[in-house]
Chain A
Amino acid sequence: MKLVLSSSPHQHVRRRTNQVMRLVIYAMVPGVMAQLYFFGWGVLVQMLIALATALVSESAIVALRKRQIGQALQDYSAVVTALLLAVSLPPLLPWWMTVIGTFFAIAVVKQLYGGLGFNLFNPAMAAYVMLLISFPAAMSSWLPPGELAAHAVTFGDVISVIFTGFSQSGYDINQLRAGIDGVTMATPLDYVKTQVSQGYTYSEAINHQQFTDSLWSSASLGWSAVALAYLLGGLVLIQQRIISWHIPVSLIAGVAVTATFLAMINGDVYGSALFHCVNGAVLFGAFFIATDPVSASTTPRGRLIFGAAIGFWTVIIRTFGGYPDAIAFSVVIMNMAVPLIDYYTQPKVYGQQRPVKQTEGEP
């Protein structure tokens, strides 16, 4: 009798790549819900546009590369990339920008590097950076959180603005951005940055209608809630062992330490650690972006370094750079450093005195 041969091990834990990806998508649900609540239907529309673009781009490129389309789509990696990008974009971004960004993420950043597992950069963040540099005004045009908005934006308005540039009532995006006081509203980070640059102190800056006047005085309305919703999803991911704790913890610690250090130097100019953590994309980035396994560091020590460095760069760029938020920039910067980090943080192998740092080339 002829027997069938296979290689050991003959047993596998039953969690496959697509299950991992699906779990990531599920973990995004609380954050997306919060975004829908505070920023309207735009998020959902952007997600759909990005998803469609991602699937089409992925299929096209995979077909060009003569690979199996079905297998490529089944791993859900393109879906995750599309969703991560979509939730990062301003809800009323013109549709074609989302399409360009998603296509760039899938086709250029991922597939041109060899597909899943081979991309050097985080696709969603690389695309976000590309869009931010190309269309800085549009990429900064966030609506004020619902409670503070002067104009109620209906689902029909959202569709209309995204695809035509004007709402059904004829308002354009800048008009829609006006707050209840009639002033065009910037994002909290942008607002504080502008105020501080105009000579106001940090505490004066956060004494604004955008910021809650509760214990969380430095937390902004809406934005902080969204951030905390993503934190919740992230904790689920850790609990499910989809991601390890290393990167989120070290990233948040990196932000906190850098921010505290700066605040200690001059608390009037630099925001507190809490301000930096709950505003902007730090929590979202810590759990959903920086933990992208493909482009992150893979060794335990390396992950700590990777996360902490992203946190550091985020605060530095937010404070001294030209953009209000900097998670995308920081992640892309540290993606470049990953091979180096991985090489120098190899764990000590059993029976070795210390990890071998071999020099290039055989002696």
Chain B
Amino acid sequence: MAGVLQGEVLLPEQIADLLGLEGALGAAVGALIGAFVVGNVMLAFTGVAGPWAKRKITAAFTDRIAVNRIGPFGLFIIIADSVRLLSKELIIPDGADRPSYDLAPLILPASAMLGFAVIPMGSLGPFNIQLADPEAGLALVFAFASIASISLVMGGYASNNKYSLMGGLRAVAQNIAYEIPLIVTAMSVVVFTGSLQLSTIVAEQSTTLVSIAGVSIPAWFAFVNPFAFVLFLVANMAEIGRNPFDIPEAPTEIVAGYQTEYSSVYFVLFYLGEFLHVFLGGAIMATIFLGGPAGPVLPGFVWFVIKIWAFFLFTQWARSALPRVRIDQLIEIGWKGMLVLSFANLVLTAIIVGVIA
């Protein structure tokens, strides 16, 4: 069991130690290098996911072959696609509101990257991959994740396009409706752990729930409270805007929503940002419901990667099979269904924890 225990040395300090630097300089250099490494790993994931894995997975669901010409399994399409996307002309509409039009595509990936700072990603060899472990880690990660909707509104508004505007407005409505159930459901986990610190939440899940025929099932909160897990899964899908809740983009209705007017590099940034958010959503799920980096045999980091990719796969699976709900239905499900259920879940959890403890 490669769980990360509270108080373990974090990645920046380890790097500082390795380089023999101390004090403020060590902390700064360590943090920079650590952030660089983690950020690039995540970007690499999105690089694989966007141009290649998404195509391959969709193709599998739809009985097609998909990219297979360039490189092994068509993997080099990633390079070809990057060159293609980056070399396209950047078209900026006449009436665009410049600073915010330019900032929007930066905010989306940046907010997702920030979120990864506090996620405990387990250990790989001697390294414990977590950049920071603040007391209020869970609150922080939700705060970072929800900055995304600001980017969507900015992009939608600044594009000076009616479809973009509608996409941006839809994004806000959706985010408000699903943020609350999302966080309230996450709170039910906090009721168990009594801490917002992510490493504590992960550590709490490393105990054994039950042992069946010698196989011990860990006390992952997905097993402890499957109802909360399902609620969180649905709210998370809506939060990151994946099918069946992809209404801010809704290609057949409002063309491409907030990103209609974005091309070239800006489009790449939006695209990256979306995938980063999917992975961040997966990382949050893994951390608070699936035992973080816990898992047998393989190193913790590998398990962590498997879990976030599993979540990515799930979003693609849902994309292939589920119709999109309508905006009013989405809001209705959010306010009338999810909100009530998530509070019920919180109260029930609190009662159960109160009775047991």
Are the chains A and B members of one assembly? no
